[in-house]
Amino acid sequence: MNPAQLERLSEHLAKLRLFKSQERLEALLQHAAAQEMPYADFLEQVLAEEVAAKASKNVSMRTVMARLPFVKPLETFDFGYQPSIDKKQVQSLASCHFIEHGENVLVLGPPGVGKTHLAVALGLKAIASGYRVLFTTAANLISILTKAHAEGRLEEKLKVFTTPRLLIIDEIGYLPIDRLGANLFFQLISRRYERGPMILTSNQSFAAWGDVFGDRVIATAILDRLLHHAVTLNIRGNSYRLKEKLKAGLVRPEETQS
């Protein structure tokens, strides 16, 4: 193979930002020559590898941008352990139609039953389908909005949480929310209402959200908007964290209920 031509090809590919093809050029050319590959087959192989590499880079980038607390796909979720979850319903959510339809997903249940895992797993499906996703906890979201409000940068920060196509708000109800926090949370929900779908998780039933937000009226207004187009997954079961202990007979199931 002519080294000068190889060099020129490599430069062209770099200029076109076809980095995978640049990296694989020599190997692909040698393979094609050895196999006496038809021109069209060779071109198809080069382009297919480049497209696959770009798609995979794009998914990795959006996974980082989503700020997920861990990366666990739906395939690692053991539905057998949590019979109160309708597997078919979750699999249908995994098709991401709920995002297209602007529906919210609310995941309720006691600690350790897999709420965050399911939210993350659905987030990963959304990322794989090409959507921009952002994960936050309710406490983090409210702390960011409260700080921005004090600094006169609320608009800017609200945009951070309204721009991603799917917003995941984890752990509503673990920490009490003050009046300003509840108000700012409501503003965000109103902005995303009818536009951007959300996945929310909570260890508290909807009836207890009045206490969570410290204000029945604002909790009702929040729930009213969230539940207008929504799917609710109510998980009733044992904490997965206690699975091994239960197996070993160290605790009885009734002791694990909160």
Contacts of 132 (CB under 8 A, 6+ apart): 62, 65, 66, 163, 164, 165, 166
Q: Does the footprint of ligand ADP cover residue 117 (CB under 6 A)?
A: yes
Q: Does the footprint of ligand ADP cover residue 19 (CB under 6 A)?
A: no
Reduced to 3 states, what is the DSSP secondary structure of residue 18?
coil
Among 82, 116, 202, 256, binds Mg ion (CB under 5 A): 116
Using Cβ positions, the residue closest to Mg ion within the complex turns out to be 116
Span from 59-67, 115-123, 142-150, 248-256 in contact with ligand ADP (CB under 6 A)? 115-123
CA 93, distance to chain mean position in Å, is: 12
Buried b / exposed e across 148-166, counting CB within 10 Å, b at 16+?
bbeeeebeebbeebeebbb
Q: Which is nearer to Mg ion, 109 or 157 (CB)?
A: 109
* Least CB distance to ligand ADP at residue 194 (A): 27
**Contact present, 177 and 142 (Cβ < 8 Å):** yes
Span from 18-26, 108-116, 150-158, 227-235 in contact with Mg ion (CB under 5 A)? 108-116
Q: Which is nearer to ligand ADP, 50 or 171 (CB)?
A: 171
Q: Does the footprint of Mg ion cover residue 203 (CB under 5 A)?
A: no
Contacts of 258 (CB under 8 A, 6+ apart): 110, 111
* Least CB distance to ligand ADP at residue 170 (A): 7
Among 13, 20, 66, 77, binds ligand ADP (CB under 6 A): 77
Contacts of 208 (CB under 8 A, 6+ apart): 173
* Helical ranges in the chain per DSSP H: 3-15, 19-35, 39-65, 87-93, 97-100, 115-128, 138-150, 154-162, 179-192, 209-212, 216-228, 243-247, 253-256
Q: Give which of 168, 172, 171 is closest to 197, Cα–Cα.
A: 168
Q: Does the footprint of ligand ADP cover residue 173 (CB under 6 A)?
A: no
Q: Starting at the earlier edge strand, list the strands of the sheet with 198-202.
A: 133-137, 166-172, 198-202, 104-108, 230-234
* Least CB distance to ligand ADP at residue 139 (A): 14
Among 241, 250, 253, 255, binds ligand ADP (CB under 6 A): 241
Q: Which is nearer to ligand ADP, 87 or 228 (CB)?
A: 87
Partner from Mg ion, ligand ADP, none binding residue 123, C-beta < 5-8 Å depending on class: none
* Least CB distance to Mg ion at residue 23 (A): 40
Q: Which is nearer to Mg ion, 21 or 116 (CB)?
A: 116
CA 197, distance to chain mean position in Å, is: 11
Q: Does the footprint of ligand ADP cover residue 78 (CB under 6 A)?
A: yes
The residue ranges that bind Mg ion (CB under 5 A) are 116
Residues that bind ligand ADP (CB under 6 A): 72, 76-78, 81-82, 109, 111-117, 240-241
